[in-house]
A = this chain, B = another copy of it.
Amino acid sequence: MSESIDHTLRGSWTPSGAGAAPLSAHAVRWLRQRTGLGEQLTPAVPPSLIEIPEDVLPQAAHAELVALVGAENVLTEPGQRLGRAGGLSYSDLIRRRRGTGVTVPDAVVLPADPGQVQRVLELCVRHDLAVVPFGGGTSVVGGVDALRGDKVAAVTLDLARLDRLISVDPVSHVAVMQAGMRAPDAEALLAAHGFTLGHFPQSFERATIGGFAATRSAGQASSGYGRFESLVEGVRLATPAGEWQLGTAPASAAGPDLRHLAVGSEGALGVITEVALRVRPAPVHSRYEAVILDGWQSGSDAVRALAQSHALADVTRLSDRDETEVQVELSGGMQARVLWALLRARRVHEPCMLVLGWDAATRRELDDRRDATWRVLRRFRPVRLGDKVGESWKANRFSGPRQRDTLLDYGVCVETLETATHWAGLSELRSAVRAALLRTLESEGKPPIVMCHLSHAYETGASLYFTVLAVRDQQDPLGQWQRAKQAATEAITERSPGRAMGRGTITHHHAVGTDHKPWLAGEVGPVGVRVLAAAKQAVDPTGILNPGKLVDGE
Hey, which bits of chain A sit against chain B, CB under 8 A?
169, 171-174, 215-218, 227, 229, 233, 237, 239, 241-246, 248-266, 269, 278, 280-281, 304, 308-309, 361, 419-425, 456, 458-463, 501-512, 516, 520, 523-528, 530-535, 537-539, 550-551
Contacts of A269 in B (CB 8 A): 256
CA distance A227 to B425 in the complex (A): 26
CA distance A275 to B266 in the complex (A): 27
Contacts of A242 in B (CB 8 A): 526-527
Judging by beta carbons under 8 Å apart, are B527 and A239 in contact? Answer: yes
Judging by beta carbons under 8 Å apart, are B251 and A308 in contact? Answer: no
- A249: which of B172, B241, B257, B421 is its contact (CB, 8 Å)? B421
28 contacts between A and B (CB under 8 A): A169-B501, A171-B424, A172-B501, A173-B460, A216-B253, A217-B253, A218-B251, A241-B530, A246-B528, A248-B504, A248-B523, A250-B420, A250-B422, A250-B458, A250-B459, A250-B462, A251-B463, A252-B420, A253-B510, A254-B512, A254-B520, A255-B266, A255-B511, A257-B260, A257-B263, A260-B261, A278-B459, A531-B535
CA distance A419 to B252 in the complex (A): 8
10 A-B pairs with least C-beta separation? A260-B260, A534-B538, A250-B458, A252-B505, A172-B422, A244-B527, A249-B420, A216-B253, A249-B505, A534-B534
CA distance A550 to B256 in the complex (A): 9
Judging by beta carbons under 8 Å apart, are B516 and A254 in contact? Answer: yes
- A507: which of B172, B253, B502, B520 is its contact (CB, 8 Å)? B253
CB of A122 to closest CB in B, whole Å? 14
Contacts of A174 in B (CB 8 A): 422, 460
Judging by beta carbons under 8 Å apart, are A423 and B255 in contact? Answer: no
CB of A524 to closest CB in B, whole Å? 5
CB of A426 to closest CB in B, whole Å? 9
A249-B419, A257-B261, A531-B538 given; name 7 further pairs at CB < 8 Å.
A171-B423, A215-B253, A218-B253, A255-B265, A255-B550, A256-B264, A258-B531
Contacts of A256 in B (CB 8 A): 260-265, 269, 532, 535
Judging by beta carbons under 8 Å apart, are A255 and B250 in contact? Answer: no
Contacts of A263 in B (CB 8 A): 256-257
Contacts of A262 in B (CB 8 A): 256
CA distance A205 to B259 in the complex (A): 31
Given contacts A249-B508, A551-B255, contact A539 B530 (CB under 8 A): yes
Residue of B nearest to A281 (CB): B308
CB of A234 to closest CB in B, whole Å? 10
CA distance A226 to B39 in the complex (A): 56
CA distance A243 to B524 in the complex (A): 11
Judging by beta carbons under 8 Å apart, are A252 and B508 in contact? Answer: yes
CB of A169 to closest CB in B, whole Å? 5
CB of A198 to closest CB in B, whole Å? 12
CA distance A539 to B257 in the complex (A): 17
Contacts of A524 in B (CB 8 A): 246, 254-255, 258
Residue of B nearest to A361 (CB): B309
CB of A479 to closest CB in B, whole Å? 25
Judging by beta carbons under 8 Å apart, are A248 and B503 in contact? Answer: yes
CB of A216 to closest CB in B, whole Å? 4
CA distance A253 to B172 in the complex (A): 27
Contacts of A528 in B (CB 8 A): 244, 246, 258
CA distance A505 to B216 in the complex (A): 24
Contacts of A229 in B (CB 8 A): 257
CA distance A532 to B263 in the complex (A): 16
Contacts of A169 in B (CB 8 A): 422, 424, 501
CA distance A281 to B459 in the complex (A): 11
Judging by beta carbons under 8 Å apart, are B538 and A530 in contact? Answer: yes
CA distance A526 to B239 in the complex (A): 12
CA distance A251 to B216 in the complex (A): 9
Contacts of A233 in B (CB 8 A): 422, 460
Residue of B nearest to A456 (CB): B251
- A535: which of B227, B250, B462, B534 is its contact (CB, 8 Å)? B534
Judging by beta carbons under 8 Å apart, are A525 and B420 in contact? Answer: no
Residue of B nearest to A228 (CB): B253
Judging by beta carbons under 8 Å apart, are A172 and B461 in contact? Answer: yes
Judging by beta carbons under 8 Å apart, are A525 and B255 in contact? Answer: no
Contacts of A252 in B (CB 8 A): 216, 420, 505-508, 523
Judging by beta carbons under 8 Å apart, are A241 and B278 in contact? Answer: no
Contacts of A218 in B (CB 8 A): 251, 253
CA distance A250 to B307 in the complex (A): 12
**Most B-side CB within 10 Å, residue of A242, A243, A260:** A260
CA distance A259 to B263 in the complex (A): 13
CB of A496 to closest CB in B, whole Å? 14
- A527: which of B241, B424, B510 is its contact (CB, 8 Å)? B241
CA distance A258 to B261 in the complex (A): 7
Residue of B nearest to A264 (CB): B256
Residue of B nearest to A259 (CB): B260
Residue of B nearest to A418 (CB): B253
CB of A172 to closest CB in B, whole Å? 4
Contacts of A281 in B (CB 8 A): 308
CA distance A425 to B233 in the complex (A): 15
CA distance A216 to B280 in the complex (A): 26
